Structure 1
Amino acid sequence: MAQLNLQTMGSSGRLWLLATPGLVFFLIFFLIPLGSLFLISFDKSSTGVVDVRWMFDLSNYERFFSRSIYYEAAIRSVTLAAIVSVITLLLGYPLAFVIAKTTDPGRNTLLMILVLSAMQLDMVIRLFGLMVLMGDKGLINELLRWLGLVGEQPLPLMYNFFGVVVGLVQFSLPFMILSLVGVIQAINPSLEEAARSLGAGRWTAFRKVTLPMSMPGILAGMLLVFALAFSSYVVPTLMGGWKVVVLPIHVFQQISELAKWQFGATVAVAMFVISVMAMLVYQRLASRYAGGRV
């Protein structure tokens, strides 16, 4: 028995050795920068100063919560991310279901290539393509003018909240699909067949069996899309034209343009706290609706 315990301890030790490089990388390039950012946020704001000065001052946080431009940007960022998460789920689930249920290898490969090809192009290139499509002189407005559906005043498809939503959905939709495909493929088809044999219709079997079984992928995809949309800087900048101000834009302005590292760190910490809260909500929902399966 003692020899068996020693062997077990030795195996556990070797497993920890395998995890050591990843843990070291995580410590150096995530925990230490995050901790430094957190400490800098408690220093008084000074232009161009990056070092931690251990002041433990709350003036940056008072400024963040007392000025509407900042906490409204936080509300706008959360609202934007939540809307994008719901839209990508509604658009991505049917396509993921078709890919998962397609048994023909050629068709399945073609559909996956179409999804993955969107991720291979650089995001800026994809957004410039959307700008060509949705601009005031873009293809959509020019087509509507040619059809006589709009006058000289174009449809406001860009440089507003709608344009940012479209850009974020276009960017994050493949991530939602990939999160769902594997989960749907793992559902045993005999479960739905059993429900059908007991008198359930196709829609009832889907609602009672397939949809609950795919809940881990739904929650994981929505969390991933929420994080991508919430932290996006490029999409609100290009598709919003600096008119849809979100928290990442404030971080960029405070650090890169104004050199106010302390207040920029405060905004970044607020983003981190909101992201952690989203993860806690995700874990709660996963435990309630997916039996803890993540």
Structure 2
Amino acid sequence: MGILDASPRVRAAALTAPPFLYTLLLLAFPLGAVILISFMTQQGVALDTTFTTANYQRIATEPIFGALIGRSLLVASLVTLVTVVLAYPVAYYVSFHVRPERKALWLFIITIPFWTSYLIRVFLWRIILGFNGVVNTALVSLGIVDEPLTFILYNLNSVIITLAHAYAVFAILPIYVALEKIDRSLLEAAQDLGENRLTTFLRVTLPLSIPGVVGALLIVFIPVIGDYVTPELMGGPGGRVAANMIQIQFLQLNNWPLGAALALVVMMVVGLVAALFGLVFFRWLRRRA
């Protein structure tokens, strides 16, 4: 008897088995390996498989790890805030002011910069923000400053600017989808009841688009806190975050257990932040229901 002739449960199991095994192979097994390695110690080029919590104790007691995790949260929060604040007007304009037949073209244009390599875009920002870059050259030529600015590169400012651009499209699209789902008759009804454009936006459009904003916040925050390429290239010594320390432990110091433990700690911190954020959001939804 073939799969097509089997019961619905057998057919469902046959259809879900490949993606389940794929997910298990690429996500569950690597995560399990990281968890196991985090309770080991590095002895030269070999791993001492004796169970120990020394790596977690070191992370909890040495101030540098707490400082890096705190800086990671700060950078991720600022990048997320800047990205969403700048993405909302773009998504709003495309949704409400662009003709329907041209919306697909606008979305196509928005995504074009992200067809190029991530590294190329980071290096372009180094050219733009550099000591002799586009921004400083323009400011000096216009007489706005006497000498090139030094605080816009190789620090947290440049990291935030670059990451906000890198993840902009991931904030624009979910907000745009939420705005597209808003029934335009609700806006007309609000204006018929005496609301102006500003109050209509604040009382109708913005609340109804909150699910898209929340999605954008999470979509940006979670990958940003794990990004180590941009802080490495744009942040300089003072712009490194926890992800850079994880990279150093794995690739330079050959201390896989400590790197694995730090990665899991960061993962738990991100999960806790996301859970608290989700709890606040669902409570807000209940109050509005």
Q: Do they fold alike, i.e. is TM over 0.5?
A: yes
For 1:169 and 1:103, locate their aligned partners in 2 and report how far apart those are by CA, in whole Å: 24
Change (3 A) 1:108 1:217: same
What SS does the aligned partner of 1:45 have?
A: strand
Q: Percent identity?
A: 29
What SS does the aligned partner of 1:22 have?
A: helix
Which residue of the partner structure matches residue 134 of structure 2? 139
| Equivalent residues in 2 for 1:177-256, closer than 5 Å | 177-256=172-251
For 1:67 and 1:149, locate their aligned partners in 2 and report how far apart those are by CA, in whole Å: 44
Q: CA deviation at 1:265?
A: 0.5
Runs of 5+ unmatched residues, structure 2: 1-5
For 1:120 and 1:132, locate their aligned partners in 2 and report how far apart those are by CA, in whole Å: 19
Equivalent residue in structure 1 for 2:41, among 34, 40, 44: 44
Equivalent residue in structure 1 for 2:77, among 74, 82, 88: 82
Q: CA deviation at 1:222?
A: 0.4
Q: TM-score, normalised by structure 2?
A: 0.91
What SS does the aligned partner of 2:146 have?
A: coil
Which residue of the partner structure matches residue 32 of structure 1? 29
**1:198 maps to amino acid:** L
Change (3 A) 1:16 1:189: farther
Change (3 A) 1:143 1:103: closer
Q: CA deviation at 1:26?
A: 1.2
Question: 2:277 aligned with 1:277, yes or no?
Answer: no
For 1:109 and 1:48, locate their aligned partners in 2 and report how far apart those are by CA, in whole Å: 53
Change (3 A) 1:199 1:116: same
Q: CA deviation at 1:45?
A: 3.3
Q: TM-score, normalised by structure 1?
A: 0.90
Q: Which stretches of structure 1, 4 residues or more, deviate above 6 A after TM superposition?
A: none
Equivalent residue in structure 1 for 2:166, among 160, 164, 171: 171
Which residue of the partner structure matches residue 73 of structure 1? 68
Equivalent residue in structure 1 for 2:12, among 7, 12, 15: 15
Which residue of the partner structure matches residue 3 of structure 2? none
**2:22 maps to amino acid:** F
Q: CA deviation at 1:197?
A: 1.5
**2:184 maps to amino acid:** P
For 1:110 and 1:185, locate their aligned partners in 2 and report how far apart those are by CA, in whole Å: 16
**1:231 maps to amino acid:** G
Which residue of the partner structure matches residue 5 of structure 1? none
Q: CA deviation at 1:12?
A: 4.6
The answer to whether the Cα contact below 8 Å between 2:131 and 2:149 also exists between their aligned partners in 1 is yes
For 1:221 and 1:256, locate their aligned partners in 2 and report how far apart those are by CA, in whole Å: 32
The answer to whether the Cα contact below 8 Å between 1:159 and 1:239 also exists between their aligned partners in 2 is yes
The answer to whether the Cα contact below 8 Å between 1:46 and 1:262 also exists between their aligned partners in 2 is no
Point out the more displaced range, 144-153 or 118-127: 144-153
For 2:207 and 2:10, locate their aligned partners in 1 and report how far apart those are by CA, in whole Å: 39
Point out the more displaced range, 103-112 or 260-269: 103-112
